[in-house]
Amino acid sequence: MAPRKKAAKKAAEPKIKGVINGAGEVVEQPIISAVRDNFMPYAMSVILSRAIPEIDGFKPSHRKLLYTMYKMGLLSGSRTKSANIVGATMKLNPHGDAAIYDTMVRLSKGYEALLHPYVDSKGNFGKFYSRDMAWAASRYTEAKLAPICAELFRDIDKDTVDMVDNYDNTMKEPSLLPTGFPSVLVNSNMGIAVGMASNICSFNLKEICETTAAVIRDPDHDVKTTLPAPDFIGGCQIIYDEKAIDQVYETGRGSIRLRAKYEYDKSANCIDILAIPATTNCEVIIERIIELVKQGKIREISDIRDETGLDGLKITIDLKRGVDPDKLMAKLFKLTTLEDSFACNFNILIGGVPMVLGVKALLEEWIAFRIECVKRRTYFERQKKADKLHLLRGLEKILLDIDKAIRIIRETDEEIEVVPNLMIGFGIDKIQAEFVAEIKLRHLNREYILKRTQDIEDLEKEIAELDDILRSKARIKTIIVRELKAIGEKYGESRRSLIIYEDTVSYDDEADAVPDYACTLFFTKEGYFKKITPQSLRMSGAHKLKEGDEITQEIEFSNNCDLLFFTDKAQVYKAKANDFSDTKTSVLGDYVAAKLGMDEGENAVYMVATKDYKGIMVFAFENGKAAKVPLEAYSTKTNRRKLTGAYSDKSPLSGVLFIEEDTELLFKASSGRMLLVHTGALALKSTRSTQGVAVMKLKKGHRLFSIEKYSEGSFAKPQRYRTRSLPALGALPSNDDKSDEQLSII
């Protein structure tokens, strides 16, 4: 072995560092080997055996639960206590009863999370659209398999799938279920593994069966013609965006916009919300609407309550007199999760390998899986018939001379010699001889034997037919298509989610609802904010401020602009100017940290006002580095109030500035040195949390403590502070530049 390899191997071996009394030896172990040996097996186990569904549409926990119920005979008959099912499932699933029962609840009819639930439940199983509606304990509820599960387990006893040992090698369980339809796309499924996740939306069963059959007949079939969009259990509306649908269908990733369904009750002057997106729940919607009313953004609502009952979901919103319900709902769609997006991530385990597939590719994988299942089933049936034919042919030979068979048996001295003597006497093998020897005496008549042997010709034809099927992939596909059609007709239901198109969707323009007028925005060193109209500002006197506080920013803008408050914890909080009330100079104003609900100990240090998010943010850090980030990096499509990672937290922030275009900035160090830098020399970074580039060289013990906009004429000789390359040390101020009056903040 080469010396380098020997050294590497020796370094990787654990080293004994000492001994602790009562604890044993202290061993030094390299971090790389510790992660590889301990974390990697865990990560792979979560990916392959926990969180990611397989081609049959189930995670291992789902499959173990349903197979247990199948073996308990719950596909037919009456329900049994859920606690019985949970206990029996522990033989296959080495988890606690709570985790198993949670899995069962989410598959149940009562929970209403699946288009086609697999568990026929009785009792309180909660609701997926309610965060607070908890399900009853397993000792109170009952369950059995839903009728559609017959299609999941059909032919499972005919060697259609591999059977593997359970965790303690005492039982066998299926590695996959031989589903007769693409259940992976029929019911929604979500899982979070280590480093990857899966989020599959649901599709209508009838449409999926029709589409799968069409893809089998024609590999070039356009799935959108038979599968226009997903279908969700809640019955919410789908806002059809052709580009988004195409992306999901082709790549398996993308976002589908969902919208709540509502009705207006004119007699009671209220709006009844009857269906909500599958990504939210009642409590989140109600809490958000109450928050909007308290903030004054929604003034048309007098009351809101949850009236969910036996008839299903219902959120009632009482309106004030003269309110247009459609305009109010358009505003609520924009401000709440009554309109939300379902993020698709079709990550499936195919042969133990995670793969993100589009709809058509996923159907093709399922078709290949189903073809293999049908082949194995056909071969199993063929072998059974061949075995029966083999026995009947042995029986047929007995027909030639029944008396001879009786004589051989009578004249044999020992029982153990009966089978060998029959084999010799009639030229049959051991299996056939065993079968003949077991025939009862009452059946040794010609009529019985003729009835048994007359099936030989039929069996030969059936075996020939099965052999033909095994040789023909086209015939196997025909069988699958026929089964899909039968399943679609038997279990298919009408589409629940209505498809609405982008051009028919209306939104309330929030800017039109809020009056826009000129105002002056003030921000203080202690984090107080004031919004004052020009008229009020002209009539007011000096600003009222806390002792030691001072105004650091004064911006003339309008009431409908966005405000960005950068904090000392590398975060930015977004608000609207109209979120703040008009005030006067004689009041302290709003304390921004409390108004925007900042974290404990967090303070706002800089404010930016914008409408179009054009411009540049410059961040300077105590280590002498500076970062230039476009303001549009802080623009979001959703109404997010807080963004983390607003700037780098690797070094304390010494200053932040907003500039509309590249300009010259003055950097000051604690050593007294100053440096003039044109921001054009700094590269624009798209990542908000960038550490930037080194701008100012700092002597030991010193730091960069501020940046300012440079005003032409502030220095007698500005060239003294400029440099051709960065980073630079800067220069100490000359005698002409030492006056504080010559330096100003613009």
Q: What are the structural domain ranges in the chain?
A: 3-45, 52-167, 261-337, 366-491, 514-606, 612-746
pLDDT at position 500 is 87
Instruction: Decide if 239 contacts 505 (C-beta within 8 A).
Output: yes
> What is the spatial distance between Cα 253 and Cα 251, in angstroms, rounded to a whole number?
5
| Beta carbons of 593 and 523 less than 8 angstroms apart | no
Residue 107 has a pLDDT of 95
Question: How do residues 228-259 score in pLDDT, each as one tens digit?
Answer: 999 999 889 999 988 999 999 999 999 999 99
- Give per-residue pLDDT as tens, 84-143: 999 999 999 888 899 999 999 999 999 999 999 999 999 999 999 998 888 999 999 999
For the record, the structure tokens of 123 come out as 């009792």
Percent of the chain with pLDDT over 90: 58
Give the H/E segment covering residue 328: helix 325-335
- Asked if 140 is an active-site residue, the reply is yes
Q: Are strands 664-669 and 674-678 parallel, antiparallel or unpaired?
A: antiparallel
Q: Is 637 exposed, middle or buried (0-12, 13-18, 19+ CB in 10 A)?
A: exposed
56 burial (CB, 10 Å; 0-12 / 13-18 / 19+) is: buried
- Tell me the Cα Rg of the chain: 38
Whether 181 and 208 have beta carbons less than 8 Å apart is answered as: yes
Mean pLDDT of the chain: 88
Task: Specify the CATH superfamily of domain 612-746.
Answer: DNA gyrase/topoisomerase IV, subunit A, C-terminal (2.120.10.90)
Selecting among 67, 118, 140, 647, the annotated active-site residue is 140
Of 3.40.50.970, 3.30.1490.20, 3.30.43.10, 3.90.199.10, the CATH number of 52-167 is: 3.90.199.10
Indicate the pLDDT class of residue 504, thresholds 50, 70 and 90: low
Round to the nearest angstrom and report the end-to-end CA distance of the chain.
69
Percent of the chain with pLDDT over 70: 93
Residue 568 neighbours by CB distance under 10 Å: 16
The CATH architecture to which 261-337 belongs is 2-Layer Sandwich (3.30)
Q: Who wins on pLDDT, 33 or 342?
A: 342
**Cβ neighbours for 39, distance < 8 A, ≥ 6 positions apart:** none
Comparing CA positions, the residue from 121, 182, 216 lying closest to residue 346 is 182
Architecture of the domain spanning 366-491: Orthogonal Bundle (1.10)
- pLDDT tens-digit profile of 520-533? 999 999 999 999 99
* Strand runs labelled E in 320-410: 339-345, 347-350, 353-356
- SS3 assignment, position 728: strand
pTM above 0.85, yes or no: no
8 confidence band (pLDDT: 50, 70, 90): very low
Q: CB neighbours of 579 closer than 8 A, spacing ≥ 6?
A: 295, 297, 563, 595
Model confidence at 61: pLDDT above 90: yes
Lowest mean pLDDT, pick from 141-145, 441-445, 689-693: 441-445
Which H or E element spans position 288?
helix 282-295
